[in-house]
Amino acid sequence: MIARILGGRWLNLALRLFLGGMFVYAAWDKVLQPAGFAMSVRGYKIIPFALSNLFALGVSWTELVAGVMLILGIFTRKAAGAIAILLVMFIVAITMVLVRGMTVDCGCFGAEGGSSTSWVLIVRNIALLFGAFLIMAYNDGFASLFPGSRSPDARLSE
Amino acid sequence: MRNLLSELIGGLGVMVVATLLGVVVNGVRPNGVALIQSGAPVATAQHPASHADSAAADTTHALAEGAISLSEMKRLFDEGSAIILDARDAAEYAQGHIPGAINIPYDRIPEYFDILNSQVPMDARVVVYCRSLTCDFSDQLATELKIIGYRDVSVFSGGWDQWTTAGYPIEGMVDK
């Protein structure tokens, strides 16, 4: 019963549009202002200094590309996989700065958003991660431009 | 579970392709960043193991590289020979700051580019401070200033606490 609700294709489409839209929005400022986002990355003091710019490019462009893929339905479940990996990285990074007692600019929506790291962000990211999981697990290629390989159900019954 | 794993591996592939795309676009655009950031972060803040150590560190610590002492700070202040930047947030700055200091909150530097450009010449002697010895906002601001191209940046590591404890002049809402 629960699986039928969580696995519904309309819920899946809504999650795709919501997560995809949110990540495209989050990426926008960072892609336009890579130097600003690299600054936020250095603020976390986790990534080696020399690699901070490259890491910032990788995160912001993954957000943009995976977000667009989710909205249009291009390799949808793999795009959700990329979003899930990002979210796990964000959760780990924010936890690390909180445990160390630091407060840094989260950089979540680029320089404009201006929120600081907090436990609320971790809860939010866990909720988003669950959404990405539902897309990975249940997306069947409904309303998609190019959904990629067969549906997960078909693969499970192999 | 097997299919979830394959979607995650596919997700890694998406990340690699997107990153390569970002690197290519970054290479051709005018405001691209260096792929490998040169230099090293400024690190003057002290992170003592306990709070008790922190009080001791105030009087006994050796100055880290790139840091200046209270007396050096006072001398620069009296001469007016340095531009002083306050790396704390706007609310703390409004409460009180070293007279003449310009507020550049450490986590909002991109929004303060205009102020930096108009009020702080690249070749100026710049001193940055934040709350206290253990606060690293000033290190972060100094690091970013050096990346932007400021040549002479140092950190007054004792910060606001040391300045006010010494009874030196302040400016702002707090009257001391």
Enter the ipTM.
0.88
- DSSP states of A51-102: GHHHHHHHHHHHHHHHHHHHHHTBSHHHHHHHHHHHHHHHHHHHHHHHHTT-
Same domain, B57 and B139: yes
Q: In chain B, how many domains are there? A: 2
Residue A4 maps to a domain? no
Residue A154 maps to a domain? no
> Across the interface, which of A33, A49, A77 has its CB nearest the CB of B110?
A33
Residue B72 maps to a domain? yes
CA-based nearest residue in chain B for residue A80: B11
Same domain, B69 and B149: yes
Same domain, B15 and B84: no
Q: What is the pLDDT of residues B5-21, one digit of tens each?
A: 999 999 999 999 999 99
Is residue B135 annotated as a catalytic residue, yes or no? no
Same domain, B56 and B11: no
Q: What's residue A7's pLDDT?
A: 79
Residue A113 maps to a domain? yes
The candidate with the shortest Cα–Cα distance to A135, out of A89, A82, A91, is: A82
| Phi, psi torsion values for A108, nearest 5 degrees | -55, -45
Same domain, B2 and B74: no
Please answer whether residues A105 and A114 qualify as being in contact, where contact means their C-beta atoms are separated by less than 8 angstroms. yes
Residue B171 maps to a domain? no
Q: What is the pLDDT of residues A59-113, one digit of tens each?
A: 999 999 999 999 999 999 999 999 999 999 999 999 998 888 777 777 888 765 5
Residue A156 maps to a domain? no
Region at B53 (left for phi over 0; alpha for psi -120 to 50; beta for the rest): alpha
Same domain, B15 and B65: no
CA-based nearest residue in chain B for residue A59: B19
Residue A153 maps to a domain? no
Q: What is the rounded CA–CA span in Å between residue A4 and residue A153? A: 13
A154 has pLDDT over 50: no
Out of B17-31, B60-74, B75-89, least confident range: B60-74
- How many residue pairs from chains A and B have C-beta atoms closer than 8 A? 130
Buried b (16+ CB within 10 A) or exposed e, A122-149: bebbeebbebbbbbbbbbbbbebeebbe
Residue A76 maps to a domain? yes
Residue B173 maps to a domain? no
List chain A residues with CB under 8 Å of B104: none
CA A12 to chain centre: 16
Same domain, B134 and B72: yes
Q: In chain A, how many domains are there? A: 1
Q: What percent of chain B has pLDDT over 90?
A: 55
Residue B50 banded pLDDT, cuts 50, 70, 90: very low
Same domain, B110 and B137: yes
Q: At what angle do helices B2-28 and A76-99 cross, to 10 degrees?
A: 80
Given an 8 Å threshold on Cβ–Cβ distance, is A51 in contact with B23?
A: no
Residue B175 CB burial class (10 angstroms; 0-12, 13-18, ≥19):
exposed
Same domain, B57 and B28: no
Catalytic residue (choose from B73, B98, B101, B130): B130
The first and second tokens of residue A90, run together, are 């964000």
Could you tell me how many residues make up chain A?
158
Residue A158 maps to a domain? no
CATH number of the domain within which B94 lies: 3.40.250.10
Question: Which range marks the domain in which residue A75 is found?
Answer: 9-146
Please answer whether residues A80 and A69 qualify as being in contact, where contact means their C-beta atoms are separated by less than 8 angstroms. no
Given an 8 Å threshold on Cβ–Cβ distance, is B12 in contact with A85?
A: yes
Q: Which residues of B touch A (CB under 8 A)?
A: 2-4, 7-15, 17-19, 21-23, 25-26, 31-41, 106-111, 136, 140, 143-144
The candidate with the shortest Cα–Cα distance to A79, out of A88, A68, A90, A89, is: A68
Chain A (90-109) residues lying within 8 Å, Cβ to Cβ, of chain B = 102, 104-105
DSSP H or E stretch at residue B37 = none
- Taking the Cβ of residue A47 and every Cβ of chain B, the question of whether any pair is shorter than 8 Å is answered with no
Question: Which range marks the domain in which residue B9 is found?
Answer: 1-36
Residue B43 maps to a domain? no
Same domain, B84 and B127: yes
B102-103 and B83-86 strand pairing: parallel
Chain A (107-126) residues lying within 8 Å, Cβ to Cβ, of chain B = 111, 114, 116
Q: What is the pLDDT of residues A20-71, one digit of tens each?
A: 999 999 999 899 989 888 988 988 889 999 999 999 999 999 999 999 999 9
List chain A residues with CB under 8 Å of B143: 42
Q: Å from B75 to nearest chain A CA?
A: 31
Residue B100 maps to a domain? yes
Residue A98 maps to a domain? yes
Q: Residue B125 pairs with which residues in a beta bridge? A: B152
